[in-house]
Chains A and B, each alone.
Chain A
Amino acid sequence: MLANRRLLSPLFGLMFIVGMACLVLSTRAGSKRDSANPKLADGLAAWEQVYSVLVSPRCINCHTATNYPQQGDDRHRHFANVIRGREGRGVPALSCIGCHQEVNAESTGVPGGPDWHLAPLSMRWQDTNNRPLSSAAVCRSVTDRAKNENMDGRALLTHHQEAALVLWAWNPGRRLDGSMRTPPPLAHEQFVTATRTWVEAGTPCPRAK
């Protein structure tokens, strides 16, 4: 009995130490998860801000699922029988740059920017019934490097910060009647900040509903 006690004492001691170690480690792991979750939550919240811009008319009118661009805040079909063409730049004799110059033409109400063109169909952000795709679907599309011209998170951030046609959305010029076109719902700086938060969180996408 005494011998057994002598044997069990170190064993209990060892079990106690192991148990405490596990407790400490599990507490640490828990705190790590707690710190990761807010980052994920922040990333997802930031994505929703990014999404609100992407599906605004200034962006989605050229990210169509159709054979033609759209125009206006009501996103109606582009007038003058303009069509997408093989490379999203219209067709000979009816190309995008045949009207859209390198900058906005304020006196004639024609928007412009460098190499005016449609986004490829792989980057369509609406369905064929003209409804914006869900936040989850757009996120999956934007983060799919097979569809997005092989852009990783850092490249997506740069795209949102610097791409000329992205920047145009915040300088969309005047309509023919002289009124200003509606910009996206966030300021460009806010859009970039939201994109950065989303990228730093690992470009998380919401779950499809």
Chain B
Amino acid sequence: MATYQLNVNGQTKKVDADPSTPLLWVLREELKMTGTKYGCGISACGACTVHLNGVATRSCIVPVSLIGNQKITTIEGVGADPVGRAVQNAWVEKDVVQCGYCQSGQIMSAVALLKATTKPTDTNIEESMGGNLCRCATYVRIREAIKRAAEQLT
């Protein structure tokens, strides 16, 4: 076990964890921040996406020992950001969610996309969101919501 000071959504959180523990489980089990979901555990589905220094990152495969002082943003904190807020609003407006399990990851990826690409094309969306799987197949509404958020932000 080791003690880590993590910067989560702008707050310093102290956790004791085995160095090999994936960030996902530190967030969910130690910090009780359950908005970030466990899907596949091998970075194949995107449900666990958080931001590390603004980079959309699969938290299920990043050991806590590699986080260091990087800024972690989770679904609980992304709404404090204008782009994050716009995406969440668009998600509600377009009624994107079906079962909802993957949507934390979808939103975190959509925010990363819109921060890099203010007016994403269909191709941009398909490429960037291609690592986020949705078993309910809400892909069409996800694309509409990303475009709606882009409109709101311009």
Which residues of chain A have a CB within 8 Å of any CB of chain B?
79-83, 85, 91-95, 97-99, 101-103, 105-110, 112, 176
Instruction: Apart from A93-B132, A110-B62, A176-B42, list 6 A-B contacts with CB within 8 A.
Output: A80-B46, A93-B56, A95-B55, A97-B57, A102-B66, A110-B43
CB of B130 within 8 A of chain A?
Answer: yes
Residues from chain B with a CB closer than 8 A to the CB of A103 are 66
Whether A98 and B44, one on each chain, are in contact in the complex, defined by CB atoms closer than 8 angstroms, is no
Bound-state Cα–Cα, A99 to B48, Å: 12
Whether A92 and B117, one on each chain, are in contact in the complex, defined by CB atoms closer than 8 angstroms, is yes
Which residues of chain B have a CB within 8 Å of any CB of chain A?
19-22, 42-46, 49, 55-58, 60-63, 66, 108-110, 112-113, 115-117, 124, 127-132
Residues from chain B with a CB closer than 8 A to the CB of A82 are 131
Kindly name the residue among A97, A98, A112 whose own CB sees the greatest number of chain B CB atoms within 10 A: A98
Residues from chain A with a CB closer than 8 A to the CB of B62 are 99, 101, 105, 108, 110
13 sample A-B contacts, Cβ–Cβ < 8 Å, listed by A number: A83-B130, A85-B127, A91-B124, A93-B112, A94-B127, A94-B129, A97-B55, A98-B56, A99-B62, A105-B66, A107-B21, A108-B63, A112-B66
Residues from chain B with a CB closer than 8 A to the CB of A101 are 62, 66
Bound-state Cα–Cα, A106 to B127, Å: 28
What is the distance, in angstroms, from A110's C-beta to the closest C-beta of chain B? 5
Bound-state Cα–Cα, A79 to B21, Å: 23
What is the distance, in angstroms, from B146's C-beta to the closest C-beta of chain A? 10
Whether A94 and B130, one on each chain, are in contact in the complex, defined by CB atoms closer than 8 angstroms, is yes
Bound-state Cα–Cα, A82 to B130, Å: 8
What is the distance, in angstroms, from B154's C-beta to the closest C-beta of chain A? 17
> Closest A-chain residue to B109, C-beta based?
A93
What is the distance, in angstroms, from B27's C-beta to the closest C-beta of chain A? 15
Whether A92 and B115, one on each chain, are in contact in the complex, defined by CB atoms closer than 8 angstroms, is yes
Known: A81-B130, A93-B109, A93-B128. A108 touches B56 (CB 8 A): no
Say which residue of B19, B124, B131 sits within 8 Å of A81 (CB atoms).
B131
Whether B61 and A105, one on each chain, are in contact in the complex, defined by CB atoms closer than 8 angstroms, is yes
Whether A80 and B66, one on each chain, are in contact in the complex, defined by CB atoms closer than 8 angstroms, is no
Residues from chain B with a CB closer than 8 A to the CB of A81 are 130-131
Those 6 A-B pairs whose CB atoms lie nearest each other, nearest first: A107-B20, A92-B116, A81-B130, A93-B109, A93-B128, A93-B112
> Closest B-chain residue to A110, C-beta based?
B61
Bound-state Cα–Cα, A169 to B42, Å: 22
Bound-state Cα–Cα, A174 to B60, Å: 17
Known: A101-B66, A106-B20. A93 touches B42 (CB 8 A): no
> Closest B-chain residue to A82, C-beta based?
B131
Residues from chain A with a CB closer than 8 A to the CB of B110 are 93
Residues from chain A with a CB closer than 8 A to the CB of B58 are 98-99
Residues from chain B with a CB closer than 8 A to the CB of A92 are 56, 112-113, 115-117, 124, 128
